Structure 1
Amino acid sequence: MIDDSRPIFMQIARMIENDIVDGILLEEAQVPSTNEFAAFHRINPATAAKGVNRLVDDGILYKKRGIGMFVATGSRAVLVGRRREDFYEQFVRPLAREARKLGIDSEQLLAMMARESTADVENAVVTEKEGAL
């Protein structure tokens, strides 16, 4: 789970964010302690705390003194909103620029997206059928 691509504390924060976005950690649910993160990932507890505290600073988590960290109400919506904006900046804008360069209009681009979406469904059906054999 932990890799060398980014600082470990940022990876810890991203894992917690993923669990919130995926619905694994619900709003008002308690988050594992920094010691639990440290033991599970075999990292320094201070590193785990840095990742968790980053989310506290962002208002995604909050502390209950003597009890632990909890997911703040509205955190999932905030994270999904941020990720949608990141998705737009990282993928949609470059895609639209490239489409313009190639003379692909909006209608053609939407048709391509629909074709890809259909391919995903068809691939899922094939995979399901192969699994049944």
Structure 2
Amino acid sequence: MDESKPIFQQIAERIENDIISGALPEETQVPSTNEFAAFLRINPATANKGVGLLVDSGVLYKKRGIGMFVTRGARDRLTAERRERFRDEYLAPLLAEARKLGIDERQLAALIQTTAPSPSTTTKESQ
């Protein structure tokens, strides 16, 4: 667990990541708050708060007496939100710093290409 963020937010992010990666497809059931609590050794109320965030945002929905499920369109919506956040949190500051340093778009693209791992390296590392 990451100590810089509240545990309930980390649970919500973990579920979001599983939805985005396809590990939790739309209309599938997510682990219960008790399962999260037992696995992570946390209070069930904390797990419930993380799941509740996703219910409130429409990513998950409850089937009474059965559990929580991933809503239709959740993956696309989460991906779009993450891309927007990526642009705001990473690209905007990167471009601002590049401008300060006199690095134009072509030079920045070349830096990214020479710095980024090759696809074959990335594939090997993820296996």
- Which residue is 2:64 aligned to? 65
Unaligned runs of 5+ in 2: none
Larger Rg: 1
What is the identity percentage for the equivalent residue pairs of Structure 1 and Structure 2? 60
Extract structure 1 runs of 4+ deviating beyond 3 A.
none
Q: How far did residue 122 of structure 1 move?
A: 7.5
- d(CA) in 2 for partners of 1:123, 1:15: 26
Unaligned runs of 5+ in 1: 129-133
- Which residue is 1:109 aligned to? 108
Aligned residues: 124
Q: In 2 relative to 1, CA 122–33 (structure 1 residues): closer, same or farther, beyond 3 Å?
A: closer
1:110-129 aligned at under 5 Å gives the runs: 110-117=109-116, 120-121=117-118, 124=121
> Structure 1: which amino acid aligns with 2:40?
H
Cα RMSD (Å) of the superposition?
Answer: 1.8
Q: TM-score, normalising length from structure 2?
A: 0.90
Q: In 2 relative to 1, CA 122–58 (structure 1 residues): closer, same or farther, beyond 3 Å?
A: closer
1:1-133 aligned at under 5 Å gives the runs: 2-117=1-116, 120-121=117-118, 124=121
Q: How far did residue 113 of structure 1 move?
A: 1.7
